[in-house]
Structures are given as structure tokens and as C-alpha cells.
A and B are shown apart, each in its own frame.
Chain A
């Protein structure tokens, strides 16, 4: 198994009572809640933690893109990835990922990724995502065309990396007379592609297609759902594409906390993981799922259930039961991850070792304990 360190870079000093006045820490939460002095300290701290992960021997360090929110301060992940390309030495640099449909010129993403790949000497993992629903409110991009734009922007970027330019690209959403990307990526024919997603059959079919065979990275789902989606990947690969999918094509992003004992881990992690799921990720269904972002069928199901998907009220014990959070002594965490590996045969674990309000000292302890007492046994 391979281990990648990831944190969303949340605005830790957030006043957690914000939800008495606002329905979400995204889109509608005034940016007066952000204090730039804290921002300066936070970015430096989070970079230190990513660099520490490289020094501790993690296989990769990860960043991602979110807009107009307190739960992730990387609207432009290339800034962080660019810094890491110079200050880290061995870890892969995974951008998980850039939100393709949200831009009107995806070539800027082909260029940015190629720069990071060149500076880092070929350590880039290029993640492509659709962006979460609320970002279609934040950018004005029409969610009804999200999937079409995603697939077309992807085709454009791959062509820009692999075909000799200049050439025209003639799409429905993107049309360029001259595609001739400088620099070309360091890794040939192009950097590995990962598709982070909550999971849908359409996405999995597309990612597993034989010319792609991309890594499907499930993010923050209950393990039962993760396991279902991984099986779906294997089944589609076998039945529709006639090949056997390997564990190298499967990844799982999950928050993890390791303490000296189960009790210590639980006590230290509780307020921070609950803040992450209940306060930072909180949003209304209308923000999370704008019309057209998902299929009609799943929109109807959600309307029928009348359930707010991310309205909070999640307890640490419930999060641990369905493995949306893994927490305990090194032994416990190692056993759980070993079990998950044996059950579904996944090879990539994106360990969210900083979440919500978890402070620097505990993040460092978590990073160290995980790398020294969990990782070696599972490699």
C-alpha cells in the first residue's frame, strides 16, 4: 500500500458558532470571518506539515481546490503545489484535483500541471474533478453542463500534453484555434491521472475505460459505499472492458487519527473531527446539489428522502462505525486499514491527518505516529 498525506487547509480559527447566523461555512459565510494575520500563520504551518510528510517518507503529499469556503483555503492549489515542488524531495505531489468545468480555459490547467511536473522532476499526480456543487453557485458555471464540460476539458488537456502543437481543438464547450502547450509535461506521455469522486456509475465507467485506467479515489464516503464503488470498478473493467482492474487503480481518502492508545486518540480527535464534519463541511442540499449536477434519478431520491445531506449532527462514534473516520492506537489503525485492504484490495490511502480544528502539535504527532508505527507494517 502507498500512503499520501492530505489536509484540506481549513480555516482553523473559524468561530464555530457561525452556524447560529449562517447556513454554511461555504458561499454565504462572510469573508470578514477570515483574519489575514491568521491566514499568514496558517499557510506557513500547513506548508510545514506537508514538508514534514515528505521528510517522514510518505509516498505523496496532496493539495486540492475549493472556492469561497472556510473548510479549504486552496482556491488556487497550484500555488501550494508550486511551493512543494521546490521544498520537497521524494514525495509525489498530488493535486486532487483541479475542477475542470469551472474554468473557461482548461489549457491553463494543462500549463500549470506541466510546470509543476517540470519543476518537481516528474513527481506530479494530476487530479481532475468536477468541483463540488456549491462551486457552481460560486463561479456561475452552469451545473447542467458540468459532466459534458468535464469530459471535454479532460480531452483537451490530454491532447495538449500528448499531441504535437499547434493544432486546433474543436469542442462544443471549448474551442481553440491554437493548442501548443509550453512546457510539455516532464512525465511522458503524461503525468498519472487520478479521479477523486464521491462515486457514481458514470464516473467509474469513464475512469476505468481501457485507454484511461485512471485511479478512482473515493473521498470521505462510508466504507460500505467505498467497497461497493470499488467492486463496481472491478465489475465494469471485467464485463465491459475485458480486463482485470488492479488495486493500483483504487484509492480511498479518509481522515485518520493515531494516538498512543485508543482512549487518548479518541479524546484528542473528538472535537476536531466533529468540527470538520459538522461545522466546516456543513451546507444545504441546494448548495451541495445544484440542478443538473447529478442525474434526475438521484435528485429525485434526495428530494423524496427530504434529508439534508450535510447538516451536521454527526458523532465521532458513528463516524468511526461507518469508517468515515479511523481513529485509535497504532495497532488499532493498522488493523482497520489492513482489514479494509484485504476486503477490497485498494493500494492508495490518502490519509487526511489534519482535519477541522486539529492544531499543529497534534497534526505533527499524528503524522509521526502514522508514518513510524502504522505505515511500515502495511507496506
Chain B
């Protein structure tokens, strides 16, 4: 595993936190509503082959909330500025849930510096008639039980008392998620009109037992981005890199090597 270093970047009125490590082509990991913590391990592993950046979105984790940003459309422009500021090129965007939505919003605006995108259990669109789960209404325990399929992970998380710092991040992440995604709940009605603009290799990864965005959402994304590849993982919930880490890693790695060749 490669080590990740911590960096800070001042952008607009906010200081944002990025952990970065490894070398090679640039891989930008965009975390979901729960924050960046559960991506640290994956980031280290990917850093063996890539220059991996894992930022905390403004308002999440160690990053300040910028007053300027109040929607995921804002976050897309923010990340385009972020990419420019850091001089990143040929980026592989990998977005998880809320982060997938951000990745899609970035890509419909500009793929100038984007080499590929992977959407993992992605938010951003709404499929009529397919009820979504509502993490804002679930208790902390219900949330854990609904996020994962693997019972060992569920038991492991529920048996641990969160530290004071973890609680603080949980609360902060929840408020930031609400700010960006409360209504319409986890989607932008305009996004689906423009997904055809994505002109780089695209991978859609989904768990067959996702209780937040059911697997029908993967097909809906595929319909809107016809050139995309789709990988549906078995016995897998909303967080594939936790529920099925090996199958997930394999799918992502083979996609990234294909786009590199």
C-alpha cells in the first residue's frame, strides 16, 4: 500500500482537505454522503498504480463549507476550478453515490481534462416508480443495516462506539449532504437531459441489492449513457467497495487498464 499525504487548498472562501498519494495517471476519488473515511483503504491500494486524490468535498470531513456552494451543480463547477488550480490532466473520475452525481455533473460540463469516469451506486437521476431508500429518515442503526449486505460488516460497525471525532464528522457530513441533496432528494431533474454529452469511457458499477438506489438505477444510467459498460455485483449493497471489495476492485481495475491501453 502506498501512503497518502494530507494537503490543504484554499479555494473561494474555504479551506479544503485532500489526501493524495502514489504516482502515475491521476485518479480523483469523489466520496459519497457518508464522507471519505471508508475510501481510505481503497485509495491506498489504488495509489500503487495511480496518483490518487481523495478530497473531502466542501462542508464534509476536514473541509470548510464554502458559502458559495449550495448545490451539486455548484460542486461540479467547484471541481472544475479545483482541477484547473492543481493542473490535473487526463483524470480518471471515480464517484461513489453523491460523488458519482458530482462526477456526472462535471463530465456533462467538460471532459477536457477527464479521461474516464466510473459511477458507483451513483445518485443524480430519478427513476419514476422505483422507490428509493431515505437515509435522512433512517436511524443510525437502520442506516448501517440498509447500506450493507455483508452481515460481518454490519456487526462490526454496530459493535463499535464512534469516537467523539467520528461523531463530529458524521454530523457534519449529514448536514453537508442535506445542503446539497435534500430536495429534490439526491438528484437533479436537469442532469438526465445532458448525460449524452459524456464522451469518455464510462463504467457503471452497482450492487444488486442496493437499498438506496435500487439496481434499476444502473439500467437507467446505461440508457442515458449508451456507450457505458455496466457491472452489476452480486450480494452487494450500496457500498460495493465494502460489501464486495475484490469483485469491485477487479471491475474498476480492468476498466481503468482498458481505458489506459
Contacts and interface: CB of A to CB of B under 8 A. Distances in A.
Interface of A: 136-137, 140-145, 284-287, 290-292, 296, 299-300, 303-304
A303 B170 contact: yes
B90 interface: no
A287 B142 CA distance: 14
In this complex, the interface size class of chain B, counting residues with CB under 8 Å from chain A, is 20 to 34
A300 B179 contact: no
A136 B70 CA distance: 17
B201 to A, nearest CB: 35
A292 B175 contact: yes
B136 A137 contact: yes
Q: Which of A285, A287, A291, A299 has the most CB of B within 10 A?
A: A291
B123 to A, nearest CB: 16
B254 interface: no
A144 B170 CA distance: 15
A143 B136 CA distance: 11
B178 A286 contact: no
A25 to B, nearest CB: 15
Nearest to A139: B183
A304 B182 CA distance: 24
B174 interface: yes
A285 B139 contact: yes
Contacts of A143: 178, 182
Contact of B172 (A137, A142, A290, A296): A296
B139 A291 contact: no
Given A142-B179, A144-B179, A286 B171 contact: no
A287 B137 contact: yes
- Top-7 shortest CB links A-B: A291-B178, A144-B179, A291-B174, A142-B182, A140-B183, A291-B175, A299-B171
20 contacts: A136-B182, A137-B136, A137-B137, A140-B185, A144-B178, A145-B179, A285-B139, A286-B138, A290-B182, A291-B174, A291-B175, A291-B178, A292-B179, A296-B171, A299-B174, A299-B175, A300-B167, A300-B168, A304-B164, A304-B167
A284 B175 contact: no
A141 B179 CA distance: 11
A101 to B, nearest CB: 12
Interface of B: 70, 136-140, 164, 167-168, 170-172, 174-175, 177-179, 182-185
B205 to A, nearest CB: 27
Contacts of A296: 168, 171-172, 175
Nearest to A23: B139
A286 B168 CA distance: 16
Given A140-B185, A296-B175, A300-B171, 11 more contacts: A143-B182, A144-B178, A286-B138, A290-B182, A291-B174, A299-B174, A299-B175, A303-B140, A303-B167, A303-B170, A304-B164
B136 A291 contact: yes
Nearest to B143: A286
Contact of A303 (B70, B136, B171, B177): B171
A291 B167 contact: no
B175 A144 contact: yes
Contacts of B136: 137, 286, 290-291
Contact of B139 (A137, A284, A300): A284
Contacts of B170: 303
A77 B178 CA distance: 29
B134 to A, nearest CB: 8
B167 A142 contact: no
Nearest to A303: B167
A190 B175 CA distance: 36
A286 B137 contact: yes
A296 B60 CA distance: 12
B183 A142 contact: yes
A280 B177 CA distance: 30
Contacts of B184: 140
Contacts of B171: 291, 296, 299-300, 303
A300 B170 CA distance: 9
Contacts of A141: 183
A203 B204 CA distance: 46
Nearest to A137: B137
Contact of B178 (A285, A290, A300): A290
B19 to A, nearest CB: 23
